Structure 1
Amino acid sequence: MHVVVNAAMSADGKLSSRRREQVRISGEADFDRMDALRAASDAVVVGVGTVLADDPHLTVKDDERRQRRLDAGKSPSPARVVVDSRGRTPTDSAVLDDAAETYVCVTEDAPTENVDALAERATVVPAGTGRVDLREAFAALESAGLESIMVEGGGELIFSLVEADLVDELRVFVGPRLIGGRDAPTVADGEGYVADFPELELEAVERLDGGVVLSWRIESDAAV
């Protein structure tokens, strides 16, 4: 399995405002780059917080890319995966429509009524208790044939994936905008590190949309 985290942040490292409302940070060129990355992936992963805040569709937008996937014997868009410990994803969410297959990763102690409702619209993947065991969940996704994974956020999920040693690449668009706010989400939220900080190796730098795309590799000794 190969896992790529893709994000867009302001020049001061924020994903959105302190109100956690969606802020447009990048432009059309970066949206196209993201769409190309989606089209090359087997699955797109987000946390339930992203679903609740933005209700994303997570599908490939470009018709030619969709057709190329069809020509290759794939669905028009990659599978969608929501990491959702308590099964809080609303059943009318865009990610649960029939545009692509959807997996919802929950815990074994998630409320039964939530899990049952989601199971009517998606493949439910139980993994761990209390909070989703990401290594167990990703192993199940790999067993389902999902080898190339794109993670689109949010910051809590990204931090947890890095902490679980599951991320291979980090691609970040840094936009020409300041957002500020000590409570505004960042690319890697969660508890944070106080030692043994993950080391990144810079692989590429690309100017785009008045900002820059930084592509980093994260060295990992673990295997899913």
Structure 2
Amino acid sequence: MSFQRPYVLLSFAASLDGYIDDATDRRLLLSNDEDFDRVDEVRATCDAILVGATTVRRDNPRLLVRSADRRAARVADGLTESPIKVAVSSSGDLDPAAAFFTAGAVGKVVYCVGDGVGLAKSRLGSVADVVDAGDPLDLELVLDDLYERGVRRLMVEGGGTMHTQFLAAGLVDEIHAVIAPFFVGDPAAPRFVNEGVFPHGPNNRMVLAETRQIGDVVLLRYELGRAAGGSITSG
């Protein structure tokens, strides 16, 4: 069945060996100030930013537009200062005091799976809209609901599970990949994607639309188009 969905931009930074973090409790800085500003510029062009629940717990992100000038420009265009914040959770076990919920006067939406919906509504109902996203997770339902909320451009910022699910389902239009000039080399650390079957394999290559050096990192921008959905494998 056809459905309407936003344009989906997936953004991440990774080490040269494909890790988006290390296995410590401290956040691994994979990029630099110049690239952080580029990401802020991209955020300011979007209607919503989506992350998985693990990213909310692990990184405690604010997910706001940092630049005062960009926030002012959004307001002048009749928008909120920052995009809507979106989280996806299977358990619903999120802290309502996390920066995701407390920072910024913008809408927050949490999509939950199965039994997690009840817990999420009891814990988060006062700080976010909680939506049943099916069991298993139905990303088409998520995107269709976001479209109904006026989201036309969605930025997916992690983590690896979200990257895997969106890419394997063929629901990504563009990738911004920033590659850091070092290795992590720890199998316990999270990678850009997990095991899966993806539409863009060796016989369906993505289009490299841009390469840009940004200090000591490099941005690779890929265009994927509207690919047919793949599948996710689990161990």
Choose from 150, 172, 178 the match for 1:173: 178
Provide, for residues 111-132 of structure 1, a one-character-per-residue CA deviation record: whole Å limited to 9, x for no partner.
5233222111101121111x42
Name the % identity: 30
Structure 1 segment 63-102 matched on structure 2, within 5 A: 63-97=68-102, 99=104, 100-102=106-108
Q: Is the Cα–Cα contact under 8 Å of residues 199 and 219 in structure 1 kept in the other structure?
A: no
Q: Please give the TM-score of this superposition, normalised by the length of structure 2.
A: 0.88
- 205, 211, 228: which is aligned to 1:205? 211
The CA deviation at 1:195 is 8.7
CA separation in 1, counterparts of 2:113 and 2:152? 22
Within-5 A mapping of 1:10-159: 10-19=15-24, 21-97=26-102, 99=104, 100-110=106-116, 112-129=118-135, 131-159=136-164
Residues 1:192 and 2:193 aligned together: no
- Whichever residue aligns with residue 70 of structure 2, its letter is R
Secondary structure in structure 1 of the residue aligned to 2:116 = coil
Distance (whole Å) between structure 2 residues aligned to residue 57 and residue 39 of structure 1: 14
Gaps of 5+ in 2: 1-5, 230-235
Q: TM-score, normalised by structure 1?
A: 0.92
Q: Give the 3-state SS of the residue equivalent to 1:203 in structure 2.
A: strand
Counterpart Cα distance in 1 of 2:199 and 2:72: 47
| Equivalent-residue separation in structure 2 for 1:205 and 1:111 (angstroms) | 41
Sort the Cα spacing of 1:187 and 1:22 in 2 relative to 1 into closer, same or farther, 3 A.
same
**Alignment-mate amino acid for residue 196 of structure 2:** G
Q: Deviations over 1:157-207 (max 9, x none)?
A: 101011111100110110112111123212112x32389726311100000
User: How far did residue 57 of structure 1 move?
Assistant: 0.4
The one-letter code of the counterpart of 1:36 is E
Aligned Cα RMSD in Å?
A: 1.9
1:9 aligns with 2:14: yes
Note the residue ranges of structure 1 that are not aligned, 5 or more in a row: none
Distance 2:140 2:200 in 1: 20
In structure 2, what residue type is equivalent to 1:49? T
Equivalent residue pairs, number: 221
CA distance in 2, matches of 1:177, 1:188: 18
Task: Report the Cα distance in structure 1 between the residues aligned to 2:138 and 2:79, rounded to whole angstroms.
Answer: 28
Pick which of 4-13 and 179-188 moved more. 179-188
Q: Which runs of 4+ in 1 moved over 6 A?
A: none
SS at match of 1:149: strand
8 Å Cα contact 2:110/2:130 also seen in 1: yes
Shift of 1:211: 1.5
Q: What secondary structure is seen at the aligned counterpart in 1 of 2:64?
A: coil
Q: Distance in 2 between matches of 1:69 and 1:23?
A: 30
